[in-house]
Amino acid sequence: MTPQRNITTRTWAELFILGLIWGGSFLAIRLALNEVPFVTSVAHRVFWAALILWGYVILRGLPIPRDPKIWGALFVMGLLNNVIPFSLMAWGQLHIPTGLTSVFNAGTAIFGVVIAALILADERLTLRKTIGSAIGFFGVATAIGLDAVRNFDITSLAQLAVIGGTISYAFAGVWARINLANLTPQVAAAGMLTGSSIIMVPAAFVIDGAPSFDLSPTAYLAIGYYVVFATAGAYLLYYRILAAAGSANTMIVTLLIPPVSIVLGALVLNESLSSNVYVGLALLALGLAILDGRLFRR
């Protein structure tokens, strides 16, 4: 990991805001799925967010890449960081609680460490990373529970789909580091979402048909939330925090998301999670703390 920097009070506040935004996205997605098919839901998310980010890029006068190779890399990035995880997680949320989805999502950093070690020469697995990753994996397995293994059903498949999404996120991180390191983050995000839109908008028309806009106010608010705040706005805030605090500090947001999602799921959707999910989340938090390293150095 990159060397850790001190976190200012302002950056702490921004981290908590980002955790709240992304934690609320799981509820928003689930509410939209009551009226919008999951493929169309993802198409809405990437298409409108891409338009917003391109507006930001143009207003800021940021340089837009012209090299076809860069656009090819952005297309693959959109597949790995948006199309696959957004689709798998949205489908998974149809069959498992929003809080559980967010717990599995917290495993992204754990998978990211292992995948980076397998692909990148300068990201070898140290003893600390190995221990932290092992505990994190055990946390994911604990959250899944033995019943899901013994009685494999649609719920078990949904859990695996969400985990598949987190693994895709991890591959996206490595792909971005190899192929997109020289791009302005905001341009990379806009280009990535454009690549995602090229895939998801036609897919939505083919699979779900023309999108219906005869939706309830709740569905419109949910879509608006995860497009404007949880995608376009969150990307801009995420990269701001990343620049100010570094990747190791920014990873803290991973621990802030599940509690927000769990509470919102309980309050709005009357969801309840089994005890093994909370034990799994605690193990994930411990694994991430070990990966971060500061707590144990102190």
Question: What is the per-residue pLDDT across 256-281, written as a single tens digit (0 to 9) for each?
Answer: 899 999 999 999 999 988 888 889 88
Residue 4 has pLDDT above 60, yes or no: no
* Separation CA 167–CA 152 (nearest Å): 21
43-52, 140-149, 201-210: lowest mean pLDDT where? 140-149
34-48, 190-204, 206-220, 261-275: lowest mean pLDDT where? 261-275
Structure tokens given for 53: 């980010």
Percent of the chain with pLDDT over 70: 92
* Separation CA 165–CA 132 (nearest Å): 21
Q: Which residues contact 176 (CB under 8 A, 6 or more apart)?
A: 77, 81, 188
- How sure is the predictor about 243, in pLDDT bands with cuts at 50, 70 and 90? confident
* Separation CA 101–CA 108 (nearest Å): 12
Residue 295 DSSP one-character state: H
Question: pTM for this structure?
Answer: 0.89
Q: Which residue has the higher pLDDT, 116 or 215?
A: 215
pLDDT of the residue at 9: 83
* Separation CA 233–CA 230 (nearest Å): 6
pLDDT of the residue at 6: 63
Mean predicted confidence (pLDDT) in 98-121: 86
- Closest listed residue to residue 102, CA positions, set 276, 222, 265, 233: 265
* Separation CA 137–CA 116 (nearest Å): 15
Q: Is residue 240 part of a domain?
A: yes
Mean predicted confidence (pLDDT) in 126-150: 80
pLDDT of the residue at 297: 62
Percent of the chain with pLDDT over 90: 56
Q: How many CA atoms lie within 13 A of 282 on its CB side?
A: 5
pLDDT of the residue at 298: 57
pLDDT of the residue at 166: 92
pLDDT of the residue at 123: 73
> 168-199 burial by CB neighbour count: b if 16+ within 10 A, else e?
bbbbbbbbbeebbeebbbbbbbbbbbbbbbbb
pLDDT of the residue at 157: 93
Number of structural domains found in the chain: 1
Q: What is the residue-averaged pLDDT of the chain?
A: 88
Q: How far is CA 69 from CA 58, 75, 175, 178, 186, in A?
A: 22, 10, 13, 13, 18
* Separation CA 172–CA 77 (nearest Å): 6
Residue 149 has pLDDT above 80, yes or no: no
pLDDT of the residue at 107: 85
Q: Is residue 4 part of a domain?
A: no
Q: What is the span of the domain harbouring residue 220?
A: 9-297
Q: Is residue 38 part of a domain?
A: yes
Question: Do 106 and 255 contact (CB within 8 A), yes or no?
Answer: yes
pLDDT of the residue at 274: 86
Mean predicted confidence (pLDDT) in 183-187: 91
pLDDT of the residue at 164: 95
pLDDT of the residue at 1: 43
Q: Is residue 2 part of a domain?
A: no
Q: Is residue 3 part of a domain?
A: no
- How sure is the predictor about 61, in pLDDT bands with cuts at 50, 70 and 90? very high
pLDDT of the residue at 128: 82
